[in-house]
Structure 1
Amino acid sequence: MTDPRVLSVNVGAVREIEWRGRWITTGIWKTPVEGRVALRGVNFAGDDQADRTVHGGPDKSVYAYSREDYEFWRGEEAFDTPVGLFGENLTVEGIDLSSALVGERWSVGTTVLEIAQPRMPCFKLGIRVGDAHFPRRFQRAGRPGAYFRVIQEGDVGAGDAVRVLERPAHGITLRYMTEVLTDRAKAAALRAVPNLPEFWNDIAHGRIELE
């Protein structure tokens, strides 16, 4: 079993691309950075998001995806899976992100990060991989990756160990949260999670109708 660690730190500026006859902005193109990268506020140095209403911000400051989940997609899809393909800031290995708990705290480099929520993919992930239908398959697979809050600023570099500092007692995993999207009977259990992002708090209290 590989010890949990960071394989790469990936950042990207906002770019403009043509899609279906119109121009859109996106920050999903991320590439690995050598050396140590500072994490301040809600971004790694050199990183940005195009639409802050749905990307970035305190509850989506850092996105992580795992090598093991990429290996799953390599077997399922007809595209290569270089680090950063899904727009993650941290490509990690040796840790099952889908089984990680919401509110779990990690020590990574000199930072402390707290898992806030799973990813809900938008159409830009389909653009990135060249398949408009991919976001639906991504959602169904239950391998969402993890969005983090920044509890302690610092810096991170490839090779840094990932250490789990705290695991809350409620037992709600990122995989469970994605299952809530298709099984509303599970939604009430989310109320046991402190500091839920607004969208998930609304789901937990029945203020958003699920399909």
Structure 2
Amino acid sequence: MDTTSARVLSVNVGRERPIAAKGGTSGIDKRPVDGPVAVRAPGPKGVGGSGLAGDHVSDTANHGGDDQAVYAYAREDLDAWEARLHRALPGGTFGENLTTAGVDVTGAVIGEVWEVGTALLQVSCPRLPCVTFAVRMGEPRWLATFTAARVPGAYLRVLRAGEVRAGDAVRVRDVPAHGVSIGTAFAALTTRPDLLPLLRAVPQLPAGDRREARRRARRAGPAPDADPGPAARP
């Protein structure tokens, strides 16, 4: 990460809107907002209530919660998708709360701590694409296309409440020694079962991802300990 230029380009929130061709509603249609946005920390019992003020989550069984309180995606990756898809992708198109610049989101280490505005955030897990995302994008075979690209963006949990706004610097305050990145975790949980053993050394990975890793490991069968090799930055 270039610490001299790492910053938030836009802060995006979504209100509840119908989701075409799927039925029901969703908050995935996130749009940039002006001025500061409050970032809520978990409630007194350590669960629920964290995230950006005004940001709606419809499917609370599969989205949101403390481990997925804030979603960040790099403008550089959106630019690459624009060139590939031949369409404009303004900040918030992928459902991200923070559209960043100068931040290697894919290379961020699980458990890495970011100071953004007056809030303190911790990288928790990669985004795994869902049907709502596919409907939102309207691209053929979008789930497979997005998965193959291995630039999933990062979910963050809130360690300290505060405020964020467009233009805020993104400052890395701590990086865990295990070194397992968002990109490596995403590959392990999707297309690279040989990398699953690496996730055992990541205590900051959410419980749901740990369960998914165990499920995939059982399905893949016994495997030798993985060597991250080039997959450390897929």
Please give the TM-score of this superposition, normalised by the length of structure 1: 0.93
How many residue pairs are counted as aligned between the two chains? Answer: 209
Say yes or no: does 1:202 pair with 2:211: yes
Partner in structure 2 of residue 4 of structure 1:
6
User: Are 2:74 and 2:100, in contact at CA under 8 Å, matched by a contact in 1?
Assistant: yes
Say yes or no: does 1:29 pair with 2:3: no
Cα distance in 2 between the residues matched to 1:105 and 1:176: 18
Could you say if the C-alpha distance between residues 187 and 84 of structure 1 is closer, same or farther in structure 2, counting changes exceeding 3 Å? same
Cα distance in 2 between the residues matched to 1:135 and 1:204: 19
Cα distance in 1 between the residues matched to 2:218 and 2:101: 35
Alignment of 1:122-133 (within 5 A): 122-133=130-141
> Deviation of residue 17 (structure 1)?
3.1
> Deviation of residue 142 (structure 1)?
0.8
Letter in 2 for 1:9: V
Letter in 1 for 2:30: K
> Deviation of residue 186 (structure 1)?
1.2
Alignment of 1:23-62 (within 5 A): 23-41=23-41, 42-62=50-70
User: Are 1:189 and 1:204, in contact at CA under 8 Å, matched by a contact in 2?
Assistant: no
Q: Bigger CA drift: 192-201 or 109-118?
A: 192-201
User: Are 1:79 and 1:129, in contact at CA under 8 Å, matched by a contact in 2?
Assistant: no
Q: Bigger CA drift: 178-187 or 7-16?
A: 178-187
User: Are 1:202 and 1:208, in contact at CA under 8 Å, matched by a contact in 2?
Assistant: no
Partner in structure 2 of residue 171 of structure 1:
179
Instruction: Flag the structure with higher strand content.
Output: 1
Cα distance in 2 between the residues matched to 1:56 and 1:6: 21
Cα distance in 2 between the residues matched to 1:182 and 1:106: 28
Partner in structure 2 of residue 193 of structure 1:
202
Q: Bigger CA drift: 115-124 or 128-137?
A: 128-137
User: Are 1:188 and 1:205, in contact at CA under 8 Å, matched by a contact in 2?
Assistant: no
Cα distance in 1 between the residues matched to 2:194 and 2:128: 19
Q: Partner of 2:195: helix, strand, or coil?
A: helix
Could you say if the C-alpha distance between residues 132 and 125 of structure 1 is closer, same or farther in structure 2, counting changes exceeding 3 Å? farther
What's the RMSD between the two structures over aligned residues? Answer: 1.7
Partner in structure 1 of residue 232 of structure 2:
none
User: Are 1:59 and 1:147, in contact at CA under 8 Å, matched by a contact in 2?
Assistant: yes
> Deviation of residue 195 (structure 1)?
3.0
Cα distance in 2 between the residues matched to 1:179 and 1:127: 23
Query: What runs of 5+ residues in structure 2 fail to find an aligned partner?
Result: 42-49, 221-234
Letter in 2 for 1:38: A
Deviations 1:183-210 (A, max 9, x none): 2121111011113212321244456655
> Deviation of residue 179 (structure 1)?
1.3
Q: Bigger CA drift: 119-128 or 201-210?
A: 201-210
Letter in 1 for 2:198: A
> Deviation of residue 62 (structure 1)?
0.0
Residue identity (%)? 44
Cα distance in 1 between the residues matched to 2:32 and 2:116: 17
> Deviation of residue 24 (structure 1)?
2.1
Q: Partner of 1:98: helix, strand, or coil?
A: coil
Alignment of 1:143-182 (within 5 A): 143-180=151-188, 181-182=190-191
Structure 1 runs of 4+ aligned residues shifted over 6 Å read none
Cα distance in 1 between the residues matched to 2:216 and 2:19: 35
Deviations 1:83-139 (A, max 9, x none): 100000000000111111000000000000000000001111122222252122111
